[in-house]
């Protein structure tokens, strides 16, 4: 079987994303854009090339850009340009040692015994690789990227609550849909994957959004990877 894993609420706590990664980004990104020339032009540098994907009004001034970014973050909008920019800011945080990913121990053990494991997250592939290459285990940094066969995000495959996205991933991996098991804490993602023919596991962890019993009923529910 091939494993396809969500990140937030599945292999690491929701609190790491909401209480650590997002606040770090909001605090750090203003200094990151301080040297950007406005209006933003894609041919200036790598960062400008990323930010040039935002709407024209947001590219006219630093204030307009910050207003747009803050709006996207506060409303949890899965914008591909924002995700790429967040990845750049988090990269600096990981490199400085400000950020370390607290992956659940049972998830680490799962990765170590399963070769065909892929990640599918709304966060960019670059951000996914950063997270798994900066995992904190017993006070030490561990790189788990060698344990993963590949990565998918909303730019490579589509949005996570759409069945077509899972069909795209199935084609990319090159296996039958029924040989893939998708793990997520999000019931709407589970439903989309199920519609696309994948096997599913609804992951229940401390701090995750509660799922009504009536919606859980059609799916297998787990609270650990220990028996997977």
User: How many Cα atoms occupy the beta-carbon half-sphere of 70 within 13 Å?
Assistant: 9
Strand order in the sheet with 2-5: 150-152, 117-120, 2-5, 180-184, 199-203, 221-222
Q: Which residues does the annotation place in the binding site for Mg(2+)?
A: 6, 8, 185
Q: Which residues does the annotation place in the binding site?
A: 6, 8, 121-122, 160, 185
Domains of the chain: 2-13+99-222 (3.40.50.1000), 18-96 (1.10.720.60)
Q: What is the 3-state secondary structure (H, E, C) of 169-181?
A: HHHHHCCCHHHEE
Q: Which residues does the annotation place in the binding site for substrate?
A: 121-122, 160
- Say what the pLDDT of residue 43 is: 82
pLDDT (tens, 9 = 90+) of the chain, 228 residues, equals 999 999 999 999 999 999 999 999 999 999 999 989 999 988 888 999 999 999 999 999 999 999 999 999 999 899 999 999 999 999 999 999 999 999 999 999 999 999 999 999 999 999 999 999 999 999 999 999 999 999 999 999 999 999 999 999 999 999 999 999 999 999 999 999 999 999 999 999 999 999 999 999 999 999 999 999
- Say what the pLDDT of residue 84 is: 93
């Amino acid at each position: 079987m091939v494993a396809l894993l969500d990140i937030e609420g599945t292999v690491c706590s929701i609190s790491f994303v909401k209480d650590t990664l997002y606040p770090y980004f909001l605090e750090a990104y203003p200094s990151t854009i301080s040297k950007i020339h406005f209006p933003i032009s894609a041919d200036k540098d790598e960062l400008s090339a990323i930010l040039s994907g935002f709407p024209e009004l947001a590219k006219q001034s630093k204030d307009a850009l910050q207003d747009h970014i803050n709006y996207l973050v506060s409303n949890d909008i899965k914008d591909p340009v924002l995700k790429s920019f967040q990845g750049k800011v988090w990269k600096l945080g990981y490199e400085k040692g400000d950020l370390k990913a607290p992956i659940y121990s049972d998830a680490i053990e799962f990765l170590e015994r399963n070769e065909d494991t892929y990640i599918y997250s709304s966060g960019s592939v670059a951000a996914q690789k950063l997270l798994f290459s900066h995992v904190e285990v017993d006070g030490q940094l561990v790189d788990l990227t060698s344990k993963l066969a590949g990565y998918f995000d909303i730019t490579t495959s589509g949005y996570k609550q759409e069945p077509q996205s899972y069909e795209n991933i199935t084609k990319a991996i090159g296996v039958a849909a029924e040989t893939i098991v998708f793990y997520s804490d999000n019931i709407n993602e589970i439903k989309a994957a199920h519609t696309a023919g994948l096997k599913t596991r609804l992951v229940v962890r401390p701090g995750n959004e509660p799922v009504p019993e009536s919606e859980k009923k059609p799916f297998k529910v787990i609270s650990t990877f220990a028996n997977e």
